[in-house]
A and B are shown apart, each in its own frame.
Chain A
Amino acid sequence: MSSVVVARGLVKRFGNLTAVDHIDFNIEQGEVFGFLGPNGAGKSTIIRMIQCVSPVTSGSLKVLNMDVQKQPREIKARLGVAPQDDNLDPDFSVLQNLTSYARYFNMPKDLANQRANELLEFMQLEEKRNTMIDDLSGGMKRRLIVARALINDPDIIILDEPTTGLDPQARHLIWERIRQLKQEGSTVILTTHYMDEAEQLCDRLVIMEHGRFLIEGKPRQMISDIVGDCVMEIVGADDEAEEYLRSTGKQVERSADRLYLYSNECRNIERDFQELYPKSQSIIRSSTMEDVFLRLTGRRLRE
């Protein structure tokens, strides 16, 4: 395996604010790599540096073995970027959005038309080919943005929050397509706020806060390392009950009226607990990436 993105001591500052604070990472050829974190953690800043539109403050960042500072054109020619904001061209139809975009990659007209039509099919937008952008739904716009990111048959696909605000059907279509692209050998870099999305799609991911990595690894591994296999959620526990739960030595967290207990042996604990405190209600569920995320970044609101 070879690394397609290599960062060493990467720093980005905006005035006094350090958005990305001395981080190192490698993204390997053919994997889906996720950047997770609360708003303002530095995910988008890293993405913007990888796509060569935001200058690196210090440290080194290489994409496809090229320096982002020295060869931005060559790098950008081999990237496909689906940004967070809708920046489709409202002056053009769906098809023209793809063909005019192909021109920025200096693609021959015939190839551009062929690619555009293939991609409209791939993202299930054939029937909308002559529709203007303002007349598309949010989900269609997102799909078109992903299609546009693929017009140059990129080696690395960057998807910045690709499913934010989508209905479940549109979301699943995009997930399917991401898996398909991975199977075809593409490297995918993803940012998301949805933990189920990260768990489903990412081979490896990092969770960020304040411009640093809190943790890096494979999702399943991370879940069992950080929070264990299951979570017991308890409602209506009084102080005494809480004291008892804490005395088990497991990780216990309180959020308003709800307690969370992370463990590998929830069943046993629940049985004993229910005998002692029958008035409390509890359920057991499998632990998820969301538990890892909240455990690491806390439950209070951001910004």
Chain B
Amino acid sequence: MIEMGRGMMAVWRRNADVFFKTWKTNFLPSIFEPLLYLVAMGLGFGSLVSGLIYAGQPMEYIRFLAPGLVSISAMYSGFFECTYGSFVRMHYQKTFDAIVATPVNLGDVIAGEILWGASKSLINSTIVLIVIAIIGWILFPAIRFTSLTILLIPPIAFLAGLMFSSLAMIFTAIVPNIDSFNYPFFLLITPMFLFGGTFFPISQLGVAEPFAYLLPLTHATILIRDLSLGISSILNGLSLLYIIILTTIAFYLAIRLMKKRLTR
């Protein structure tokens, strides 16, 4: 168990070292993307929106949107890292082969990769959160975070990152080639991006609303938005439970499928 943790951390360190070698370019998208979204969607599009009600409260569109950008960032960071990133290391760079020749076992490698994917979710979504907080303070008073519960957002983003990274690793274990990642992105990630409670309240979906609750992103968005707005409800506990259960299942499944793929 100790050895497994050690192996996992060595793999995590490898990826972290590579990331921080080029941190300036790695941080740029997380800094500028929320800016673009807030201006385009929040200001441009949001000014057309009136009468938005979330959790029984009327609110300005930009205030509703901002936390959604944090959860989108958590999803994309972890999912990208453990699909394209892990696949390149596994298939093209043969990095996994090199590592399993040491006392580190394949299970440790996959766990380390998922942990790193979650760390990227944490890093990127925290940057997005900070950027939004600063812009909110200066330009958009409507966003202004007033509750200290926003401090809980990074740990939630990390947990959501574990979930998306584990799901991503399942696809990495089964795709025949790198182009096949178009399928999970097209069939899973893009629909979540649009319908996961990010750009509009899922209550707008009418009869389809229950389906939105099946989507992992919906629950990450609920938690992050409610923490940023200082809202607490029974739904938060259920969302947290959903994320923990799905993460546990996906994590074990990912490791199992990866072992199946790579052990010959």
Contact = CB atoms under 8 A, between A and B. Distances in A.
B3 A73 contact: yes
B219 to A, nearest CB: 34
A103 B101 contact: no
Interface centre among A74, A76, A86 (most CB of B within 10 A): A76
A90 interface: yes
B94 A106 contact: no
Interface string B87-109: 00000011101111111110000
A27 B97 CA distance: 25
Given A83-B97, A87-B94, A87-B97, A106 B14 contact: no
Contacts of B98: 83, 87-89, 101
A88 B98 CA distance: 7
Interface string B101-119: 1111100000000000000
A51 interface: yes
Contact of A105 (B95, B103, B105): B103
B256 interface: no
Interface string B241-264: 000000000000000000000011
Contacts of B102: 76-77, 101, 104-105, 152
Contact of A55 (B100, B103, B104, B263): B263
Interface in A79-103: 79, 81, 83, 85-92, 96, 100-101, 103
Contact of A91 (B10, B18, B100): B18
Contacts of A105: 102-103
Contacts of B264: 14, 48, 54
Interface in A134-178: 152
Chain B: interface size category: 20 to 34
Nearest to B3: A73
Contact of B103 (A53, A76, A83, A88): A76
Contacts of A101: 98, 102
A53 B93 CA distance: 18
Contacts of B97: 83, 85, 87
Interface string A21-52: 00000000000000000000000000010010
Interface string A57-83: 000000000000000111011010101
A90 B103 contact: no
B235 to A, nearest CB: 42
Nearest to A53: B100
B95 A87 contact: yes
A182 B95 CA distance: 29
Interface in B167-199: none
Given A103-B13, A106-B10, A89 B93 contact: yes
Contact of A72 (B6, B95, B105): B105
B245 to A, nearest CB: 31
Nearest to B4: A73
A87 B93 contact: yes
A81 B102 CA distance: 9
A60 B9 CA distance: 32
A55 B106 CA distance: 13
Contact of A106 (B6, B17, B18, B101): B6
A104 B104 contact: yes
Contacts of B93: 87, 89-91
Nearest to A75: B103
A95 to B, nearest CB: 13
Interface string A241-264: 000000000000000000000000
B18 A92 contact: yes
Interface of B: 3, 6-7, 10, 13-14, 17-18, 21, 93-95, 97-105, 263-264
Given A55-B263, A100-B13, A106-B6, 8 more contacts: A14-B264, A76-B102, A76-B103, A83-B101, A91-B18, A91-B93, A100-B14, A103-B10
Which 8 residue pairs are nearest across A and B when measured between Cβ atoms?
A87-B94, A104-B102, A87-B98, A81-B101, A91-B18, A77-B103, A73-B103, A103-B10
20 contacts: A53-B101, A54-B263, A85-B97, A86-B94, A87-B98, A88-B98, A89-B93, A90-B93, A91-B18, A91-B21, A100-B14, A103-B14, A104-B7, A104-B10, A104-B102, A104-B103, A105-B102, A105-B103, A106-B103, A152-B102
